[in-house]
Amino acid sequence: MAVVKIKALFPNDIKIVWDVVTSLEKYQWRSDLNKIEVLNKYQFIEYTKDSFATKFTITAFEPYQRWEFDMENSNMKGHWSGSFKENHGQTEIYFIENITAKKLFMKPFVKLFLQKQQRQYISDLQKALQ
């Protein structure tokens, strides 16, 4: 099991940051995604640029505060938690991923992969909020 955490501060109103992060229709700012397929109110599938699918099940949705989901694909399963805090017109985000690799040979690389993925996500989000 790998646990990866990332915190970032954006000079944007919390409503703007929340809307960008939680939108399942306006995901084009994400450099890693090809598309998102919404299955229902609680489930969606993200497809990478290589068409690799990951299914997400929303477990918590508290507007402008918290968004959480379970996720699974053929390589891993786990949980993602995102918290949002407003501070003097700025927004702090804190994301935690708790992932278990399904394939033994992948276990040593999961944490490094997740860290790289989180850094790219924050970079993409910074560009989207400019």
Residues listed for the chain: 130
With respect to residue 113, please indicate whether it lies within any of the assigned structural domains.
Answer: yes
**Position 72 confidence tier, pLDDT thresholds 50, 70, 90:** very high
Helices (H) and strands (E) in the chain, counts: 2, 7
Residue 121 sits in a domain of what CATH number?
Answer: 3.30.530.20
pLDDT tens digits, 86-111: 999 899 999 999 999 999 888 889 99
With respect to residue 88, please indicate whether it lies within any of the assigned structural domains.
Answer: yes
With respect to residue 53, please indicate whether it lies within any of the assigned structural domains.
Answer: no
Percentage, residues of the chain above pLDDT 70: 100
With respect to residue 71, please indicate whether it lies within any of the assigned structural domains.
Answer: yes
With respect to residue 32, please indicate whether it lies within any of the assigned structural domains.
Answer: no
Q: Decide: 84 and 64 in contact? Cβ < 8 Å.
A: yes
- Residue 104's domain comprises 2-18+58-128
Model pTM score: 0.93
Integer Cα distance of 26 and 20 in angstroms: 7
The domain tally of the chain equals 1
**Position 127 confidence tier, pLDDT thresholds 50, 70, 90:** very high
* Alpha carbon 56 to its chain's center: 10
